[in-house]
Amino acid sequence: MTEPAPFVVVFGSLHYDIIVDSPARPRKGETIAGHSWQPKCGGKGGNQAVAAAGAGARSAMIGAVAQDDFGRTLLGNLAARGVDPRFVRISPGTSTGMSVAICDSDGDYGAVIVSGANLSLSEHDVLTACELFARGNILVLQNEVPDTANAAAAAAMKAAGGLVILNAAPARVPSEGLASCVDILVVNAIEAELLAGVPVVESLKGAQAAARILAGSYPTAVVTVGDKGVASATVQGEAIAIEAIPVELVSTHGAGDEFIGVLAACLLRGDHLAEALARANRAAADLVSRPAA
């Protein structure tokens, strides 16, 4: 009997995003007239699961939403975008996670998230989705859900013989239990600075230096630096540096999640790390150069 194809399993957050296009981000006490707004299905977890599916991987999501319009919309979006949503739990007595992001005329953004049902994720969700934890699968984690839940998911995937990727965003130092299960750490310059404990210059050379430091704690460390590129280092001393692809920037919103999802999909199909990073780098460049769907 032929074994089923492996999965990219994303354990993490689902948010209903409201994207506001504005000439600038307001300062304290300031009101600015924006250009437009649009809804978007997101959350780092949801975005990464969709990106993995879009890159050709079998993708499954483990998460939580409430029984409300936002939750129903997010579940429908996952299914429509090729993500298996069977293990997204309906959490009673709470609200679906949401965020508001303000994108300025330079293409940068700032956001506020309200986590809602995402904070209810726990070891119970890992046990419920036990069939997804198997040899050959890749688990993708982020920091928009409790560390204890991430640690339980990571331990289950390691015990099954799968690969664990942690996108330590937003910046948060992982517990020892979680860190010990991570195979690949992916961070931006701000997150790298927190975890490495040293200032990180937002340049390709700075990313390389930070990746080398982090590779002392994780088997593989990947540091992204936006329009400068991406660098990685392994505990064995292997290093990769890839310059960013020049594009006309529209918005950086979701670029990191696109990178993670495509990286996981490429590794799942057996690409070498260098090729997977290059493909993920190209995918993120393509995303930031086009208007949000």
Could you tell me which of 233, 225, 240, 243 has the C-alpha nearest to residue 282?
243
Contact 281/229 with Cβ under 8 angstroms?
yes
Q: Which residue shows structure tokens 């299905």?
A: 41
Cα distance between residue 120 and residue 122, in whole Å: 6
**What is the full DSSP assignment across 26-95?**
PPTT-----SEEEEEEE-HHHHHHHHHHHTT-EEEEEEEE-SSHHHHHHHHHHHHTTEEEEEEEE-TTS-
CA 151 to chain centre: 16
Task: For Cα atoms 34, 144, 114, give the angle at the middle one, nearest 5 degrees.
Answer: 45
Cα distance between residue 93 and residue 168, in whole Å: 28
Q: How many CA atoms lie within 13 A of 247 on its CB side?
A: 23
**What is the full DSSP assignment across 257-271?**
HHHHHHHHHHHHTT-
| Beta partners for residue 166, in sequence order | 141, 185
What's the token pair of residue 227? Answer: 């329009």
Cα distance between residue 116 and residue 206, in whole Å: 36
Cα distance between residue 182 and residue 250, in whole Å: 33
Residues with active-site annotation: 257
